[in-house]
Amino acid sequence: MVFCNFPRAVAYLALCLSLQAAALSFTGPVQSLSDISITELTQLLDSGTVTSRDLVDLYSDRIAEVNAELNAVIEIDVDTALHVAETLDRDRSNGVLRGPLHGIPILVKDNYATTGGFNESLKTGAGSVCLAAGSRPREDATVVAKLRAAGAIILGKTNLAEFSGARGHHVPQGWSARGGQTYGAYVRGQTACGSSSGSGVAAGLGLAAAALGTETGGSITCPASFGNVVGVKPTVGLTSRFGVVPVTPRQDTAGPLARSVADAALLLEVMAGRDVERDNYTAAQPWDSPPRYTEALNASALRGKRIGVMWYEQGIEFGMNYWANKKQIRRLFDAALDDLRGAGAELVDVPFGDHGGADKGLFNIHVPMRNGGDYMLPDLKEALARYYDNMAPDDNADEASTAIQNHTQLLACLREDPRERSAEYSLEIMAAIAEEDEPLGPAGGAEAWAAYVNVSTATGSLLRGPLQEQNLEGLVMYMDLAIVLASAPGLPIVTVPMGGLGDDARVVYEGEGNDDYNLPRVITGAPGMPQGLSFVDEKWTEMDLVGFAYAYEQASQRRWTLAPWVKMESDLDNWTGDRIGEL
């Protein structure tokens, strides 16, 4: 560890020596930002080895190194972040800590409302240049405000599937007008999946300490899986959705993507809680304040637990062809089962067909957005209208005249602005909620409700049936099945890396054999492509799931078996004297 190898002037020497002394008082190796945990970062900050200002600089440099290739990050607000970091560094040196994320840089998906960026920065567009143009949220999303209150530095916005996939059926996974095509970091040209595409990539590479995503139907779980990171998709209602560009409030949920279960638990602890006035789903929480998820980090948590194992022979493609490598996925899954047994779990096979899962029709609803679900469109229309209420024209923006205040304006802009590529990539979902052709029933109406109950009962019972009948304490499955079954009923999923596809894996592409629109050639399966194992249970069981996920992670250690193909030079271990002058 050499922090002072290039002291440029004698004047810096004293500072440099005191830094080295501080560094020496920190016991333990300084890790790469690709691996380091939030707890370890906090130790480095506490010991004075680095400052939050340094971290903002380092993460900005890392983003600059890889973003041209991966498009993981839409924008960063370095000026604001440095300013906030300086304040937090000062507070820290005075012994004042705001909370468990004091001075920790975090990236958030571009559908989280963020205020306070200097000039034109830190806009909120859900990936859309139209939504971002000329208007600003009046308030931070509740979860963003909670992060800031806990001391986090909001470094910038990550890329995503535009409108979290609720734009049209023919839009590439991980593409947005604001950010371009996101690519994963482990196989050159791989999908990052979606819709929290950039958050999975950014967390995995260490472009920030961690990142926030949102999920409606797979949008945290799949990017966590293909990004070699941990993803927590909380029970709907555990985290407030106020200020998040919505899809359907019946399913939307806000959660973290992080390199370890411990980091994810810490973020979840900060994010969770009631916000009844602004998101009344949070009123359903069965407690006054949520549990402390970091207390669930117990490497023995699986010992003696009855865990149901679900496997769907046919796979669920999501149009991504990754099931071409079923044999390789099954091999990883079997290895994961061995690790679970090794960690003391009692595994109980849950033959899927016994519970009606063989009904192929069921899987036609697997990504309800793609089927224009009968409740999704009314929900989206009403929820988006409420979101616009939080938008104010930006007086400083040149584009003030185009500030989006309602859906008519948004749709017109999506059709006209060439950056939105509407000639190539469709926007029929956004068009449908404008009701130009067919009127939609109300989101609260009987029809939408019946459709929702139908889907959530059909999928939820496949999970709840075995949980109850066989007295199970949790379920484990490949991530795609978790997405299909847990989305509509709003159940929690915690996804953990389970390793990469073997050398015998086939290289396959998104939408292969489907030429009806101009898809970029994005790889959805290949040797070394990361995969995730998902833990699922009843609502509000995140304490259990975090424990199981942690015990599995500790027993298996799969994340560390894979290395990204992109390399970054900016890191803690060659932090040079160049920077010392800036401290």
- Residue closer to ligand NAG by CB (options 83, 170) is 83
- Residue closer to ligand NAG by CB (options 173, 294) is 294
Residue 81 C-beta: closest distance to ligand NAG, Å: 11
Asked if 463 and 485 touch (Cβ cutoff 8 Å), the reply is: yes
Q: Given candidates 74, 254, 301, 508, which one binds ligand NAG under the rule CB under 6 A?
A: 301
Residue 303 binds ligand NAG, judged by CB under 6 A: yes
Residue 327 binds ligand NAG, judged by CB under 6 A: no
Tokens 């992080």 belong to 258
| Residue-wise DSSP of 402-444 | G---SHHHHHHHHHH-GGG-TTTS--HHHHHTTTSSSPPPPTT
Residue 45 C-beta: closest distance to ligand NAG, Å: 21
Phi then psi for 442, rounded to 5 degrees? -70, 150
| Residue-wise DSSP of 136-169 | EESS--HHHHHHHHTT-EEEEEE--SGGGG-S-S
- Examine the residue annotation and report whether 32 is marked as an active-site residue of this protein: no
- Examine the residue annotation and report whether 240 is marked as an active-site residue of this protein: no
Residue 550 C-beta: closest distance to ligand NAG, Å: 10
- Residue closer to ligand NAG by CB (options 312, 452) is 452
Which CB contacts under 8 angstroms, 24+ apart, belong to 450-456? Answer: 451/373, 451/374, 451/375, 452/250, 452/375, 452/488, 455/365, 455/368, 455/373, 455/375, 455/488, 456/250, 456/488, 456/489, 456/490
Q: Given candidates 20, 298, 402, 561, which one binds ligand NAG under the rule CB under 6 A?
A: 298
Would you give the end-to-end CA distance of the chain in angstroms?
Answer: 18
Residue from 224, 213, 105, 217 nearest 160 by CA: 213
Structure tokens at 545: 């799931």
Residue 32 binds ligand NAG, judged by CB under 6 A: no
Tokens 């971002």 belong to 132
Residue 518 binds ligand NAG, judged by CB under 6 A: no
- Residue closer to ligand NAG by CB (options 121, 426) is 121
Residue 67 C-beta: closest distance to ligand NAG, Å: 18
Select which of 52, 195, 197, 456 is catalytic.
Answer: 195
Residue 344 C-beta: closest distance to ligand NAG, Å: 8
Q: Which window, 19-27, 315-323, 406-414, 460-468, contacts ligand NAG (CB under 6 A)?
A: 406-414
Alpha-carbon distance 247 to 379, whole Å? 7
- Residue closer to ligand NAG by CB (options 414, 526) is 414
Residue 300 binds ligand NAG, judged by CB under 6 A: yes
Residue 66 binds ligand NAG, judged by CB under 6 A: no
Q: Given candidates 18, 25, 39, 119, which one binds ligand NAG under the rule CB under 6 A?
A: 119
- Residue closer to ligand NAG by CB (options 193, 254) is 254
Residue 300 C-beta: closest distance to ligand NAG, Å: 4
Mark residues 542-571: x for contact with ligand NAG by CB under 6 A, - for none: ---------------------------x--
For 302, counting Cβ atoms within 10 Å of its Cβ (0-12 exposed, 13-18 middle, 19+ buried), the class is: buried
- What would the 3-class secondary structure string for 6-26 be? CCCCHHHHHHHHHHHHHHHHC
- Residue closer to ligand NAG by CB (options 102, 241) is 241
Q: Given candidates 118, 287, 560, 565, which one binds ligand NAG under the rule CB under 6 A?
A: 118
Cβ partners under 8 Å of residue 281, min gap 6: 236, 237, 241, 249
Kind plus residue range of the DSSP H or E element containing 399: none
Asked if 368 and 329 touch (Cβ cutoff 8 Å), the reply is: no
Tokens 């734009």 belong to 167
Residue 303 C-beta: closest distance to ligand NAG, Å: 4
Footprint of ligand NAG on residues 79-98 (CB under 6 A)?
79
Residue 482 C-beta: closest distance to ligand NAG, Å: 20
Cis peptide before 195 (omega within 30 of 0): yes
Footprint of ligand NAG on residues 426-465 (CB under 6 A)?
450-451, 454
For 393, counting Cβ atoms within 10 Å of its Cβ (0-12 exposed, 13-18 middle, 19+ buried), the class is: middle
Structure tokens at 268: 């979840």
Mark residues 329-368: x for contact with ligand NAG by CB under 6 A, - for none: --------------------------------x-------
Q: Which window, 144-152, 190-198, 298-306, 464-472, contacts ligand NAG (CB under 6 A)?
A: 298-306
Tokens 């009344």 belong to 280
Select which of 34, 52, 60, 109 is catalytic.
Answer: 109
Structure tokens at 146: 């909670």
- Examine the residue annotation and report whether 219 is marked as an active-site residue of this protein: yes
DSSP at 29: P
Residue 304 C-beta: closest distance to ligand NAG, Å: 7
Residue 5 binds ligand NAG, judged by CB under 6 A: no
Residue 405 binds ligand NAG, judged by CB under 6 A: yes
- Residue closer to ligand NAG by CB (options 47, 454) is 454
Select which of 60, 219, 225, 534 is catalytic.
Answer: 219
- Residue closer to ligand NAG by CB (options 422, 554) is 554
- Residue closer to ligand NAG by CB (options 18, 280) is 280
Residue 292 binds ligand NAG, judged by CB under 6 A: no
Residue 25 binds ligand NAG, judged by CB under 6 A: no
Q: Name residue 75's beta-bridge partners.
A: 157
In one-letter notation, the amino acid at residue 175 is: W
Structure tokens at 387: 């979101």
Q: Name residue 214's beta-bridge partners.
A: 254
- Residue positions annotated with a catalytic role: 109, 195, 219
Residues that bind ligand NAG (CB under 6 A): 79, 118-119, 280, 298, 300-301, 303, 361, 405-406, 408-409, 450-451, 454, 569, 574
